[in-house]
Amino acid sequence: TEGCRVLSIQSHVVRGYVGNKSATFPLQVLGFEVDSINSVQFSNHTGYAHWKGQVLTAEELNVLYEGIKLNKVNHYDYILTGYSRDTSFLEMVVDIIQELKKANPSLVYVCDPVMGDHGAMYVPENLLPVYKNKVVPLADILTPNQFEAELLTGKKINTEKDGVEVMDLLHKMGPDTVVLTSTDLPSKNGDQFLVALGSQKIGKPDGTNSSQKICIDIPKVDAVFVGTGDLFAAMLLAWTHHHPNDLKTACEKTVSVMHHVIKRTITHARELAGPGNRPSPAQLELRMVQSKADIENPATVVEAKVLQSSQ
């Protein structure tokens, strides 16, 4: 990771962990230089009773980028984006990525196309065509949940086979690496687990592609965490960097980091809340700093299964 630079365009909160606050520290711990543009600056995430703050406009985003460009330090190895709820902002992000990809053709864009979950959109519907037609075609690594993958491809996922087909459709749209971060598919290990699916296309020197498809069980925890999706995308960026042609290992390490952070968080939250009480959003903020050692060197807690590997 020596000299590896990431431009991360995400939300910022004063207190707690979401967006850039979820992504920056773990990436820095793993040796990446992280340049952050804060798409919003809020007092805390919006799951609390109150929140206050400012939203960056597309024009203000452009001004910040212009400053970076004037100093000729607009060279990045990675770009990371997450939640956005404004089409003009997202379109400005697209312009910036296109320009940075011209400056560095080997730049990798990691995109979490945050649009909704459990069958409901929580961003304006007019973002979908922007993601579909402009953002996803630029992405190299894409981390949708099941609902977002269905929105982008127009295909429902009821079986593992559907999941594999949806990932192939997403490959056709642009990204060589696709991870469906959570699905409603039943786990072989019972209902205490969520199933994630991954697919990676690897270009070979002779111009043909090989591909690897994997499935991985994620232990479920009975609580609502905020910022975990942002942590997932950041860790996938880091671990695919360290294991470029081995999605299985990258996903195992990513999910293991998540597991350690979430476990530490829920244990702490329950202690704070006391017996029989449900922890509050403030008590459920990710225990990120306390998990530094696990982020650097995650003990593997899950093994991914290879579904198919075509050579």
Residues carrying an active site annotation: 230
- CA dihedral for 51, 54, 58, 61, sign (positive or negative): negative
Q: β-strand 116-117 against 120-121: which pairing, if any?
A: antiparallel
Q: Report d(CA 85, CA 235) in Å as an integer.
A: 23
Q: Which two tokens stand for residue 77?
A: 């190895």
Separation between Cα atoms, residue 71 and residue 81, nearest integer Å: 23
DSSP letter (8 states) at residue 27: H
Which two structure tokens, joined as six digits, stand for 221? 């925890």
Q: Would you give the DSSP letter of residue 185? A: P
Distance CA 286, CA 259 (A): 11
Using CB atoms within 10 Å of the CB of residue 121, give its burial: 0 to 12 exposed, 13 to 18 middle, 19+ buried.
middle
Do residues 192 and 218 touch, judged by C-beta distance below 8 A?
A: no
Dist. CA 192–CA 220, nearest whole Å: 5
Which residues touch 130 (CB under 8 Å, ≥6 apart)? 87, 90, 91, 94
Least Cα distance to 83 among 28, 26, 123, 118 occurs for: 123
Angle value at C-alpha 125, between 122 and 136, nearest 5 degrees? 95
Q: How far is CA 114 from the centre of its chain?
A: 9
